[in-house]
Amino acid sequence: MIPSLLLASVIVFLFIHLIPGDPAQIMLGDQATPEQVRELRETMGLDRPLAVQYGKWLSGVVRGDFGNSIFFHEPVLHVILDRAETSVLIAVFSLLLIILAGVPIGILSAV
């Protein structure tokens, strides 16, 4: 299972880097100077080789550090946990509906 997760993470990481556009340029906007873009790329570690970026990202994930959300400007783990309660509630409610509908249908099918 771990090799599959590692392979999936490598594939996703590489696909994310294939997306056109420079994340630093997008974050700063069109009015940013090349110096500002370069500084942000250095701060974010985007100037390092892909293998180094992946290793740093993977070590963070293992420690529970998923980085910071560009959109929400807060740690990604906080964003995930804020929405986890609603997701779990929907999953439990769906499971209850499936059981309430599935058991009677199964009994009727067996008889």
> Could you tell me if 5 and 37 lie in one domain?
yes
Taking the alpha carbons at both ends of the chain, their separation in whole angstroms is 40
In order along its 111 residues, the chain shows pLDDT tens digits of 889 999 999 999 999 889 898 888 988 888 999 999 999 999 999 999 999 999 999 999 999 899 888 889 899 999 999 999 999 999 999 999 999 999 999 999 998
Residues 24 and 11 in one domain: yes
Give the pLDDT score at 63.
93
Q: What is the pLDDT of residue 40?
A: 93
pLDDT of residue 108: 95
- Tell me what pLDDT residue 70 has: 80
Both 1 and 53 in one domain: the answer is: yes
What is the tally of structural domains in the chain?
A: 2
Question: Are residue 36 and residue 75 in the same domain, yes or no?
Answer: no
Query: How remote is the C-alpha of 56 from its chain's centroid?
Result: 15
Is 59 in the same domain as 77?
no
Q: What is the pLDDT of residue 68?
A: 87
Given a contact cutoff of 8 angstroms between Cβ atoms, the answer to whether 95 and 101 are in contact is no
Query: How many angstroms separate the CA atoms of 70 and 9, rounded?
Result: 20
- Rounded to 10 degrees, the C-alpha dihedral 45/74/81/16 comes to -40
* pLDDT score recorded for residue 1: 86
Pairwise CA distance, residues 47 & 43, whole Å? 9
Task: Give the domain range for residue 26.
Answer: 1-65
Do both 29 and 3 map to the same domain? yes
- Same structural domain, 22 and 60: yes
